[in-house]
Amino acid sequence: MNLDHVFVCEHPALDFAATLRVRRSTRFEMFVTPERLDAWFVESGLVDTVTPAGEDDVRAAVTLREAIYQLVTNRRLGEEFEREALDVVNAAALRTPVTPQLTMAGRRVEATAPQALATLARQAVELLSGPDVPLMKECGNPECTRVYIDRSRGMRRQWCGMESCGNKIKAAAYRARKKTAPAAH
């Protein structure tokens, strides 16, 4: 599996929750080093630059990510929030978030990992208490556990992304049809 960060969920908190890939089988952790966490913060557009993270920041990020994923799952399934996950997200949301600054060149966001995590926690609070809750869907690929916001007409979107999952499923279905199709004589 490649290490490129993917942003297909239509919401930063959902993309963050998706950094542990393939939760049902061979779990694939994206935050294997502090540098990978820093890269995610920058690639997501959350910050322009981040003070280099440490191992403690990675542990805090994984804890927050898992709490967000738990709460998203609870909300998506219409269940009551798990109390421990709720406490983790709310505690992170209380911390100082990233703060944009105006420079001669325009807007600039420099932050620490804890500030970035506080911002993600606040975004999760807004998502899970806002109008997009009914639009949250899990990817139709049985191997994928990404949850995304379905803004398609008629809410017909089936996959987190065509590149990541849709094409794989469509190609597999095509191969299966070809394999079972009667041979033309």
Enter the pTM of the model: 0.87
* 8-state DSSP, 82: P
44 backbone dihedrals φ, ψ, rounded to 5°? -75, -15
- Output the CA torsion 77→86→146→29 (10° steps): -140
Question: Which ranges constitute the DSSP H helices of 44-166?
Answer: 55-76, 83-94, 113-128
**What pLDDT digit, counting tens, does each position of 122-170 carry?**
999 999 999 999 999 999 888 888 999 999 999 889 888 877 686 655 5
Residue 73: closest CA among 21, 17, 15: 17
In the chain, % of residues over pLDDT 70:
86
Closest CA to 140 of 179, 167, 176: 167
Determine the residue type at 26.
T
CA distance 80 to 63: 20
What are the backbone dihedrals phi and psi of residue 22, each rounded to the nearest 5 degrees, phi first?
A: 50, 60
Percent of all residues in the chain with a pLDDT value above 90, rounded to a whole number? 71
pLDDT digits (tens, 9 = 90+) for 22-37: 788 778 899 999 999 9
What pLDDT shows up at residue 1?
Answer: 38
Please identify which residue in the block is written with the tokens 């399934």: 77
Going from the C-alpha of 107 to that of each of 21, 47, 50, 165, the distances in angstroms are: 32, 11, 15, 35
pLDDT, the chain, mean? 89
Give the residue with greater pLDDT, 25 vs 85: 85
How confident is the model over 83-98, as a mean pLDDT? 98
For each of the domains in the chain, give its residue range(s) and CATH number, in order of start: 12-180 (1.10.3300.10)
4, amino acid identity? D
